[in-house]
Structure 1
Amino acid sequence: MTTTDKTGAATEVTAEADRFSISVGGRTAGFTEFIDHGKQRIFPHTEIGDDFEGRGLATILVRGALEATRDAGLRIVPVCSMVAGFIDKHPEFGDLVDPVSSDVKRILSDR
């Protein structure tokens, strides 16, 4: 997915094996990690580099990750506060959300 940030710079969200990353001008600006477990995609952590803060990149990144998760037919488990906050502001993803269960907590502690 390619779009522009608040400064008008082109961004690109890329799916990787265990994360989605966002780049600006060919430089990696951040990522959101995920763990696929059955029909769930668990999002434990999201990070945007200090040099890129305030540009709306987390919103672009999380939206891209959640759209890809929906397209893959997976449920969303928002452990990360950034992902959970995005979902609170964008109810169109609410029907895809599963709670952070004891099973999810076990998976995260085994990492």
Structure 2
Amino acid sequence: MTEQTAEPTVRHMPAEHRYEIRAGGALAGFTAYRDRGDQRVFYHTKIDEAFSGQGLASRLVHDALSDVRATRKRVVPVCPYVKKYLEKHDGYADISDPVTPEVLQWLDGELH
């Protein structure tokens, strides 16, 4: 199997504060976060239109949340897609924290 036909892969890119998913060797999308203490605050997920409808967003978020669990952090789902994923997959309820006004204010400061 060549790199171009390989299974989609998810990589943590800590310097960019995001997880990326690649399909066929090309960047297909990402989910972005900022760390706040022991919380990983996810605020944006994007899949390129050319890759939509392939289940890549779900795979990306699943792998990102599994990494969060492995690093003993907690998830704060500001991103609507991550929030929806958590609502459908209760296997991550034990590491999920609610979005609070304090978290939103902190995130706004981090991003601006």
Structure 2 length-normalised TM: 0.89
Mapped partners of 2:47, 2:8: distance in 1: 13
Q: Residue 98 of structure 1 corresponds to which residue in structure 2?
A: 97
1:2-81 alignment to 2 at 5 Å? 10-17=7-14, 18-81=17-80
Mapped partners of 1:83, 1:95: distance in 2: 15
**Which deviates more, 28-37 or 101-110?**
101-110
Identity across matched positions, percent:
40
Higher fraction of helix: 2
Between the two proteins, the alignment pairs up a number of residues equal to 104
What SS does the corresponding residue of 2:92 show, helix, strand or coil? helix
Q: After TM superposition, what 4+ stretches of structure 1 lie above 2 angstroms from structure 2? A: none
For structure 1, which runs of at least 5 residues remain unmatched after alignment?
1-7
For structure 2, which runs of at least 5 residues remain unmatched after alignment?
none
How far has the Cα of 1:9 moved from its partner?
A: 5.8
Structure 1 length-normalised TM: 0.90
**Which deviates more, 66-75 or 98-107?**
98-107
**Which deviates more, 59-68 or 94-103?**
94-103
Mapped partners of 2:76, 2:38: distance in 1: 10
Mapped partners of 2:35, 2:102: distance in 1: 13
Spell out, residue by residue over 1:2-29, the C-alpha distance to the aligned partner (whole angstroms, 9 max, x if none).
xxxxxx9610000002000000011000
Mapped partners of 2:39, 2:76: distance in 1: 7
